[in-house]
Amino acid sequence: MSEARASVAESPLKTLRRLLQLGRPYWFWYVGLVLGTMAMAGLEVLAMDAVKRMINAATSKSMQLLIEGIVIGLAGFLGSEVIAFFVSYFGELLNHISVMRLQTKLVSKLTRAKMEALQEYHSGDVIARINDSANAAQAGLNSQIRQVLHQALSVIFYMAYLVHLDRALSVGTLALSILMPAIVTPLSKKLRELYTAQHQAHARKNSFIQDSVQGSEVVRAFSLSQRLSQKFRAIYDEILGYSRRIVLLNVVVGHTQFVVIIGGILFVLGYGGLRVARGILDLGSVVVFLFCFERVAWPLSQLVRTWPELQNSIVQAGRAFELFDLPEESYLPERIETERVDGMSSADLASSIRVSGRAGIEMEGVRFAYSEGQDVLKGFSLTVEPGKMTALVGPSGSGKSTVLKLILRLYEPTEGRILCQGIPIDEMTVSDWRSLTGYVSQDPYLFSGTLMENIRYGRLEASDDEVIEAAKAANIHDFIMSTPDGYQTKIGERGVRLSGGQRQRVSIARALLKDPLILILDEPTSSLDSESELAVQQALDRLMAGRTTIVVAHRLSTIRDADKIVYLEDGEIQEVGTHMQLMAARGKYHRMYQALLLDRELQDDQKMASYEIDSLEGVMA
């Protein structure tokens, strides 16, 4: 989580209001639960009155009073338990439903959030906010607030009944009971601060564990185990420090509760006994005072204990709401500020481009910076001809991948504009624009699931036969059929059970299934061996045929075959032309190409030497 963002979080009161607004869809449930809670509190008082009647019946030997007490007691106790059953059942059911819906909304929000905003958060922290914070936030609304209401109503009803019995004794009882909130309430602010710090530390711990697991190969290769263990221990010690202070405050609350209850019992027995001796109060009333004092002090103590839990829920809700507040991409037509004179909608614009079959791209004076004041692209202008391949080359950090991200609208230019067939792409929603594009990256992301599911993500409504045809065109069908489960083979997290070339061909099959007009390739063969590269390149050739293609490439074969080569350096175009034109100019591209060629020759020499050594060892053996 971004610490800066946490430091300017909204006030707890505003977060609580948003938490209450979150419960609007469930108002009918809440009304029923509130009414049930009120009935429970009232029936509990009725049961106490029945106890008084039965004790007085025993002392006065009144059968009628005893029967009244039994009837009223059964009605109070049984009625309270029946209502408590339904309140508990529907309360838990509501909690599960509302948590699931909140988590669904958060996941949906993340798929629409702008990349630059989302990248401020570690993925482990985001997962913790969806799993833990959303759960705790809804618990505050569904459980803690309801508990607070139940406890408050119990105190009000019991005190009203006790005042009816004896004002003097009830005033003393109330005075002792309110010692608890008077002592502990000032601690609630400190508890909220501790819970906030603890959750932030837990988020760092989750992120650290995720990095350690996902980077396990690097950890072993660089012998980082001891260093990472020390770092984890430091995070753990920080969490333990917060936990100690939280536990200490909670123990203070618990012992305060014990002292108040014992003191109250002694007061009721002493002062109540005195009033009985003087004939002011009957014995049944004193016994009921003992019962009711506990039922007044206990809800007050629980009220005080529930309040910090509610503080925790408010803190967790604030963490979830931070994700809700992330700026969104323009998925909805109403988010597009520009209004066209011809009245064409976003879908109409995308459809007109697709129907034309041509998708030339122009970038005019584009500037972009990931961080303010550090431009990656500086007044960048480029024309990508429809149906042709344009290769972006240049040193690392020159802005090649940034150009692809802007065309994909993962980010928006800070200045300038991007057009497709003369239409500014920001006049379309990102979903309409991306329906025209396909993307194959250097390290393709595959989802945990089956091969069929991963290819079908290219076009969800595609039939099985269409998926299979795309796999054949991507040179992956034969491998799939060689697996025991064929297209239903599970590939593990991020496709861990596949080789790099196999993952890349699955990604190409996904793009083929989508059938885009514009193809965006980010070094798709740079990390493959020669054999895998050949299979992937054949699949790419089928994918690129007749499509507008923008590719970031380092491989010589990909660069040579491009219709236009653009050499970038420091966010600016240095040279543009075909391979032959740029080689003849003997400029920066020529020097880069010669360096790549020399590197290729050295690799070939190393392979040949290795082959000769292996052959010689075989002869000597």
* Position with higher pLDDT, 605 vs 351: 351
**Span 223-257, pLDDT tens digits:** 667 778 888 888 888 889 888 988 888 787 777 76
On the question of pLDDT at 146 being above 80, the answer is: no
**For all residues of the chain together, what is the average pLDDT?**
80
Residues 383 and 507 grouped into a single domain: no
Enclosing H/E stretch for 298:
helix 283-324
- Which of 470, 495, 515 is the C-terminal boundary of a domain? 515
Region 144-157: what's the mean pLDDT? 79
With b for 16 or more beta-carbon neighbours within 10 A and e for fewer, the 509-519 pattern comes to: bbbbbbebbbb
Do residue 510 and residue 602 come from a single domain? no
Per-residue pLDDT at 326: 84
Tell me the pLDDT band of 564, cut-offs 50, 70 and 90.
Answer: very high
The DSSP 8-state label assigned to residue 2 in this structure reads -
Tokens 């998708």 locate to 359
Which pLDDT band, with edges at 50, 70 and 90, does 50 fall under?
Answer: confident
How confident is the model at residue 566, as a pLDDT?
92
Enclosing domain of residue 562? 348-436+546-621
pLDDT for 396 beyond 80: yes
Same domain, residue pair 158 and 279: yes
The per-residue pLDDT for 616 is: 40
pLDDT-based confidence at residue 418 (cuts at 50, 70, 90)? very high
Question: Mean pLDDT throughout 309-323?
Answer: 80
Cβ–Cβ under 8 Å, residues 286 and 267: no
pLDDT at position 2 is 43
Please state which of the ranges 114-118, 296-300, 349-353 shows the lowest mean pLDDT.
296-300
User: In 325-450, where does DSSP find H-type helix?
Assistant: 346-356, 400-408, 430-434
The confidence band for 468, taking pLDDT boundaries of 50, 70 and 90, is very high
Which residue in 444, 438, 451 sits closest to 512, CA to CA? Answer: 438
473 and 416 belong to one structural domain: no
**pLDDT value at position 347?**
83
> Which of residues 292, 309, 324 is at a domain's end?
324
pTM recorded for the entire structure: 0.64
18 plus 119 within the same structural domain? yes
Residue 580: which CATH number?
Answer: 3.40.50.300
Residues of the chain with pLDDT > 90, as a percent, come to: 7
- 249 falls within a domain: yes
338 pLDDT tier (thresholds 50, 70, 90): low
Last residue of a domain, one of 286, 309, 324: 324
SS3 of 5, please? helix
In a domain, 340, yes or no: no
> Per-residue confidence at 532, pLDDT binned at 50, 70, 90?
low
Q: Are residues 191 and 283 in the same domain?
A: yes
Q: Calculate the dihedral angle through the C-alpha atoms of 391, 396, 400, 401, rounding to the nearest 10 degrees.
A: 120
CA atoms 552, 556, 558, 562: torsion sign: positive
Length of the chain, in residues: 621
CA distances to 71, 369, 376 from 373, in Å: 80, 7, 10
Checking if the pLDDT of 92 tops 80, the result is: yes
Question: Greater confidence, 404 or 539?
Answer: 404
Instruction: Note the pLDDT of residue 419.
Output: 92
Q: What is the pLDDT of residues 123-143, one digit of tens each?
A: 777 887 888 788 877 777 777
Confidence (pLDDT) at 527: 56
User: Quick check: 483 pLDDT over 70?
Assistant: yes
What pLDDT is stored for residue 7 in this prediction?
38
Cβ contact 376:122 at 8 Å: no
Q: What's the rounded mean pLDDT across residues 488-509?
A: 84
pLDDT at 613 exceeding the cut of 50: no
Shared domain check, 452 and 427:
no
Rounded to whole angstroms, the Cα distance separating 357 from 461 reads 22
Average pLDDT over residues 301-323: 76
Q: What per-residue confidence (pLDDT) applies to 443? A: 79
Residues 431 and 442 in one domain: no
pLDDT at 413 over 60: yes
Look up the CATH number of the domain holding residue 157: 1.20.1560.10
Same domain, 303 and 357: no
Domain tally, the chain: 3
Range 233-243 burial, b when 16+ CB lie within 10 A, else e: eebeebbeebe
Could you tell me if 99 and 220 lie in one domain?
A: yes
Predicted confidence (pLDDT) at residue 222 exceeds the cutoff of 50:
yes
Whether 458 has a pLDDT exceeding 50, the answer reads yes
Burial letters 466-494, b for 16+ CB under 10 A, else e = bbbbbbbbbbbbebbeeeeeebebebeee
Q: Clarify whether residues 431 and 454 are in a common domain.
A: no
Confidence at 565, pLDDT banded by 50, 70, 90: very high
Would 19 be classed as within a structural domain? yes
- Residue predicted with more confidence, 529 or 581: 581
What pLDDT, on the 0 to 100 scale, is given for residue 611? 39
Residue 610, pLDDT above cutoff 60: no
Examine the pLDDT at 19 and tell me if it is beyond 80.
no
Does residue 332 have a pLDDT over 60? no
- Does the structure show a pLDDT above 70 at 200? yes
Do 115 and 86 lie in one domain? The reply is yes
Weakest mean pLDDT among 88-102, 307-321, 346-360: 307-321
Decide if 396 is inside a domain: yes
Listed residue (350, 346, 176, 140) closest to 260, CA to CA = 176
Q: What share of the chain is helix, strand, coil (3-state, %, to 5)?
A: 70, 10, 20
For the residues 289-300, what does the mean pLDDT come to?
Answer: 76
* Alpha-helix runs per DSSP H in 113-224: 115-118, 123-128, 134-139, 145-165, 167-177, 179-184, 187-214, 216-221
Does residue 80 form part of some domain?
A: yes
Q: Would you say residue 536 lies in a domain? A: no
- What's the rounded mean pLDDT across residues 427-432? 86
Within-domain flag for 79: yes
Q: Would 368 be classed as within a structural domain?
A: yes
Mean predicted confidence (pLDDT) in 432-437: 88
Closest CA to 395 of 579, 589, 550, 559: 589
Is residue 211's pLDDT more than 50?
yes
